[in-house]
Chains A and B, each alone.
Chain A
Amino acid sequence: MPEGQFCNKRPVNTDEELKALLGDTGGQKYYQEMKALEVDTALLWSTIQKTMKSRIKTWLSICAHCGMCADSCFIYRVSNRNPKQVPAYKIQSTLGEIVRRKGKVDNAFMHMAMETAWAKCTCCNRCGMYCPHGIDMGVMFGYLRGLLYQQGFVPWEMKIGAGMHRVYRAQMDVPNEEFVDTFQWMVEENQEEYPRLEVPVDKEGADILYTVNAREVKHYPEDLAEAAILFHIAGEDWTVTSEGWELTSLAMFAGDWEACKMQVTSVYGAMERLKPKRMVGTECGHAHRATVVEGPYWAGRKDGQTPVPSIHYVEWLAEALRTGKLKIDPEKRIKVPVTIQDSCNYIRNHGLKEVTREIISYIVEPGYFRDMSPNREHNYCCGGGGGFNGIGLYRRQRNEALKTKRDQILATGAELVLAPCHNCWDAIRDLIEEYEVPVKWSFLKPLILKMAVVPEHLKPRE
C-alpha cells in the first residue's frame, strides 16, 4: 500500500478530509501507514533540481566540516553534546545525503529525515550566526521540510495544521464569522468597564489593521479583548477584517509552501481591500515571520514587502509608549525580578531587539530587569519553535529541549518571564509545568493593561 488513507502525498483540502484525519487519534493509523509510504524518487530529484539553487548547493558543498556550529545549537547542547546533533551533521546526513544520492532514498531514510527535520531542529537559525561561512542550517531545514511534506513524510499535527490553513485560512477550525463574533463578544464583555469600547470590522482606511492568532479566538479570547482595550485607551483608529485575519502559518512549519501562499494572500487581500495605513499583528513570533518577513516572497511580491507596512505588536507598543499614547502609572510598574524571552522569529530574524528593551524601560521599575544570557539575536530558542511544541510524536524530545530555556531563566533569578510570542509562551508554560519552575510568565498585553492609565473620558460613569 504505497499511499495510505491518511498518510499520503496529497495535502488536506476539504473539511471532511480534515475531520477524518483528526479522527485518527494521535495519528496512530497515519504513522502506521507512513511505514509503507513509497518515496517518489523521481519527483524528489526533479523538485530539487528545480528549486535548489546556488545558495543551498554552495552551503552544502563548502561546509568546512569545522564544527563551529555545534555549540550554537541548543538541541546539541541539551543532548549531552551528542555529535549526531551537530547542525552540520544533521543537515549533511539528511538533505546533503538526498542530494548526493540524487533523490534515491528509501522509506527508512525519509523517516530518519523527518525526525531530524522536526525533532532535531526548530529552524531557530542560530547556527547560521555561528558558522564562519554563513551557512544557515535553519533555512536548509525549512527547505528539507518542504521536500518531506511533498513526499508525505510529515508529522500528523503538521499535516493537520497545513490543512487548517488550506480549509479555513486559519491554523484552527475557526470560520470567519466566529472570529468576528468572538471579537464582538469580548468587546461586549468589557463594555461596562470601557463604555465606548468597540471593534470596528472591515473599516476602510483605518490607521491600523489588527491581525491575530486563531488560538486567541478559540481558546483565550481575553487576548482579543486586551488588544481592543489597549487600542481604545491609546486612541487608535483601528479595525479588524472579516476575512484574512489570521497572522499565523503552521503551513510554514509543515513546509507546505502552497498553503503558505494561500494563507498570506488572504491577509494581503484584506490589506488591499481595506487599505489601512499599516498592519499590526498580535504577540506572535512565527506569525510575524510568516506574514511579514517571508510571506511577501511566497506571494511573489518582488520588493519583499507586505502591501502595507506591517509591524509586530511590540513595535506598536513601544511606539505607543514612546509617543505617550499609552501612559504607564509609575506606581504600577513591574517590581519583581523580570526577564524577557527574545523570540527567534522577530528578534534574530527581524531585528526587533531594541524595541523590546525600550518597552522594558517603560514598564519595569529600574533595577528589576534581568537579561538572559545569551540574549537578543544570540538568544536560544524557547525549545518549542518550528512546530516542535505541537508534535505528539516528539513530545519527549521537546521536553528535553526545554531544559535550555529553563536553565537560562533560572540563571536570571527572575520571577516573571515576559513572553511576547505564542510559541515561546507555550514552551515556557510547558517547561514551568514539566520541571516545576517557580516563575510566572505572561504576554505583554495583560500586564500593560494592568498598569496603563485610562484617560478620564474613557472611564465608566458610575
Chain B
Amino acid sequence: MYAFLTGPMFWLSLAVFIAGLFWRAVWYARGLDWQLDRVAYRAWPKEGARGAVRSVFRWLVPFGTRGWRVQPFMTVVFFLFHAGAVLAPVFLLAHNVFLESKLGVSLPALPRFLADALALLAVIAGLLLALRRVALPEVRILTDWRDGLVLALSLAPFITGLLARFQAGDYQFWLLAHIISGEAFLIAAPFTKLSHIVLFFMSRAQLGMDYGIKRGGMKGKGMAW
C-alpha cells in the first residue's frame, strides 16, 4: 500500500497535477481572442505586459490593493491560509527529503518550527474561511457543495500532515491518510477551482492587459488597484 502510494500513485498524481495545470494555462492563453475579448493583446505587448505585471503583483501583496484594504479580516485570513498552502508543502523538509529520494533534487527547506507554524495557521485560517462561508449571507448565497469539497481537499493534507508530524495516535495511519489526501489534492487540482493555482495568474494578467492596453493603461498613471 505504502509502496504503491509513494511509487506509481505519487508519480501519477504529480504528473496529473503538473500536466493538468499546464494544460489549463495553455488552453486559457490559446482561448484569448482579441476581438471577442476586445483587447488588442498582440498590438501592444509592452503595455500589456506592464498592465499584467501590475495587476498580478499588486494583488499578491497583503493590503496592496484597495480591495484588500477594505476587507482586512478577509485579507489576513486569506494570506495566512495561502502562505501556508503554498510555502509549507513546497518548502517542507519532509517533502524535500522525500523528493530527494525520488528525483534526486530538492528545494531549500523551511526551519521546522516555521513550517509547523505555517501549516497550523493555514489550518486555522482555512477553518475561518469555512466559518466565513456560513456566517456571512453574501458568501453563503454563493456557496455550493463544491466549495466545501475544495476547502476539504485543501485542508485534509494539512490536518493529516500535522497529525502525522506530531504523532497523534497512529503515525502510520495518519501518514497514509496524509499521502492519500495529498495525492487526491494534486489530482483534483486541474479539474476543480483549485486550478486557480495557475489560472489566478492568467486571469489577473488578462484583466491587467485589458486595463493596460485598452482601459486607460496608455493614459495617465494607470490603474490604482
**Smallest CB gap from B216: residue in A:** A351
| Bound complex: CA A300 to CA B33 (Å) | 12
Find the A residue at minimum CB distance from B55.
A134
B141 touches A86 (CB 8 A): yes
B142 in contact with A68 (CB, 8 Å): no
- The minimal Cβ–Cβ distance linking B111 to chain A, given in whole angstroms, is 29
Contact of A133 among B34, B144, B203 (CB under 8 A): B203
Pair B214/A135 contact, Cβ less than 8 Å: no
Given the known inter-chain contacts A353-B220, A354-B220, please indicate yes or no for A297 contacting B35, CB distance below 8 A.
Answer: yes
**1/0 per position for A435-451, CB-CB distance to B under 8 A?**
00000000000000000
- Complex Cα gap A354–B216 (Å): 11
Q: Assuming the A-B contacts A89-B141, A304-B214, A354-B221, are A58 and B202 also in contact, with contact meaning beta carbons closer than 8 angstroms in the complex?
A: yes
Instruction: Name the B residues within 8 Å of A133 (CB-CB).
Output: 196, 199-200, 203-204
**A302-B43, A350-B215 in contact; A65/B142 too (CB < 8 A)?**
yes
Given A83-B138, A83-B141, CB of A61 within 8 Å of CB of B193: yes
Chain A, residues 24-63, CB within 8 Å of chain B (1/0): the string is 0000000000000000000000000001011101110111
Residue of A nearest to B136 (CB): A67
Q: Does B208 contact A (CB under 8 A)?
A: yes
A62 touches B71 (CB 8 A): no
Contacts of B34 in A (CB 8 A): 297, 302, 304
Is A377 at the interface (CB under 8 A from chain B)?
A: yes
Please count the residue pairs between chain A and chain B whose beta carbons lie under 8 angstroms apart in the complex: 160
- Among residues of B, the one whose C-beta sits closest to the C-beta of A311 is B219
Q: Do B35 and A68 have beta carbons less than 8 Å apart?
A: no
CB of A128, distance to nearest CB on chain B (Å): 7
Contact B206 A134 (CB under 8 A): yes
A136→B210 CA distance, assembly (Å): 11
| Inter-subunit contact B217/A71 (CB<8 Å) | no
Instruction: Flag if A297 contacts B38 (CB, 8 Å).
Output: yes
Contact of A132 among B35, B67, B199, B219 (CB under 8 A): B67
| A352 contacts chain B at the CB level, 8 A cutoff | yes
Q: Are A71 and B43 in contact (CB under 8 A)?
A: no
Cα–Cα distance between A302 and B37 once the two chains are bound (Å)? 12
Contact between chains at B204 and A65 (CB < 8 Å): no
Q: Flag whether B31 is at the interface (Cβ < 8 A).
A: yes
Q: From residue 9 to 36 of chain B, which have CB atoms closer than 8 A to chain A?
A: 27-36
Q: 0/1 per residue, B135-153, Cβ < 8 Å to A?
A: 0111111111001000000
Known: A53-B37, A62-B196, A71-B70. A89 touches B207 (CB 8 A): no
Q: Report whether A71 and B196 are in contact in the complex, using a CB–CB cutoff of 8 Å.
A: no
B133 nearest in chain A by CB position: A65
User: Which residue of B has the minimal Cβ distance to A350?
Assistant: B216
Chain A residues with CB under 8 Å of B141's CB are 83-84, 86, 89
Expressed in whole angstroms, the Cα–Cα distance for A92 and B142 within the complex equals 9
A108 in the interface (beta carbon within 8 A):
no
Which of A81, A130, A132, A376 has the largest number of chain B CB atoms within 10 A?
A132
Interface residues on B, range: 35 or more
Cβ B38 vs Cβ A136 within 8 A: no
Which residues of the other chain, B, contact A378 by a CB distance below 8 angstroms?
Answer: 66, 224
| Cβ–Cβ contact A351 & B40, under 8 A | no
Q: B193 — which chain A residues lie within 8 A by C-beta?
A: 61-64
- Interface members, chain A 351-374 (any B CB < 8 Å): 351-355, 374
Q: Is B98 on the interface with A (CB-CB < 8 A)? A: no
Residues of A within 8 A of B196 (CB): 62, 64, 133
Distance between Cα atoms of A80 and B220 in the complex (Å): 36
Contact A67 B204 (CB under 8 A): no
Q: Are A293 and B215 in contact (CB under 8 A)?
A: yes
Q: Are B31 and A88 in contact (CB under 8 A)?
A: no
Interface centre among B30, B74, B137, B195 (most CB of A within 10 A): B137
Q: Using a CB-CB cutoff of 8 Å, which residues 53-69 of chain B contact chain A?
A: 55, 59, 66-68
- Cβ of B222 under 8 Å from chain A: yes
**What's the least CB distance linking A137 to chain B, in Å?**
12
By beta carbon, the residue of chain A nearest B141 is A83
**Separation of A425 and B117 alpha carbons in the complex (Å):** 55
B44 within 8 A of A: yes
The answer to whether B28 and A58 touch across the interface, beta carbons within 8 angstroms, is yes
Judging by beta carbons under 8 Å apart, are A53 and B31 in contact?
yes
**A97-130: contact bitstring with B at CB < 8 Å (1 yes, 0 no)?**
0000000000000000000000000000000111
Q: Which residues of B are found within 8 Å of A293, using beta-carbon distances?
A: 214-215
User: Residue B39 at the A interface, CB < 8 A?
Assistant: yes
Q: For the complex, what is the distance from the CA of A89 to the CA of B216, rounded to whole Å?
A: 28
* Contacts A65-B147, A378-B66 known; 6 new A-B pairs at CB < 8 A: A65-B142, A71-B71, A83-B137, A129-B67, A132-B59, A297-B34
Q: Which residues of B contact A (CB under 8 A)?
A: 27-40, 42-44, 55, 59, 66-68, 70-71, 74, 78, 133, 136-144, 147, 193, 195-196, 199-200, 202-204, 206-208, 210-211, 213-225
For the complex of A and B, list the 6 residue pairs with the smallest distance between their C-beta atoms, beginning with the closest: A351-B216, A54-B31, A304-B40, A134-B207, A67-B139, A65-B142
A-B contact pairs, 18 of them (CB 8 A): A53-B36, A55-B37, A55-B206, A58-B199, A61-B193, A62-B195, A66-B142, A67-B138, A67-B139, A70-B139, A83-B141, A86-B138, A86-B141, A133-B204, A302-B42, A351-B211, A351-B222, A353-B220
